[in-house]
């Protein structure tokens, strides 16, 4: 009797496990992308966009980095597609954003 109920519930349990593992992989990607965006924004705020892109690529390999300046701030947007379970589920695009103040050049008055 118990085996019949287990056999009926097993597909649902597998689906719940798949959803949970997908959520964990997306959250892990978000953390890596947020770290990459933060590092890129800080480096770009210091006036070095090449280093910003390199740092973002090291933190989140394969991610697209977009830097822009708005007023006295630098905005870094890092985006990557996450393929849960090796690609047999639909890909999810994860985007993270960080803002840093533009640091004044050395030798210039405050």
Amino acid 2: pLDDT? 73
**pTM, full prediction:** 0.81
80 close to 20: Cβ distance less than 8 angstroms: no
pLDDT tens-digit map of 63-78 = 999 999 988 899 999 9
- For all residues of the chain together, what is the average pLDDT? 88
pLDDT tens-digit map of 81-107 = 998 876 677 889 999 999 999 988 755
């Amino acid at each position: 009797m118990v085996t019949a109920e287990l056999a009926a519930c097993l597909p649902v349990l597998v689906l719940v496990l798949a959803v949970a593992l997908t959520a964990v992989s997306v959250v892990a990607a978000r953390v890596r992308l947020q770290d990459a965006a933060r590092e890129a924004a800080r480096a770009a705020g210091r006036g070095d966009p090449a280093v910003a892109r390199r740092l973002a690529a090291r933190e989140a390999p394969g991610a697209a980095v977009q830097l822009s300046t708005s007023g006295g701030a630098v905005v870094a947007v890092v985006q990557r597609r996450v393929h849960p379970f090796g690609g047999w589920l639909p890909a999810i695009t994860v985007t993270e954003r960080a803002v840093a103040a533009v640091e004044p050049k050395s030798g210039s008055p405050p």
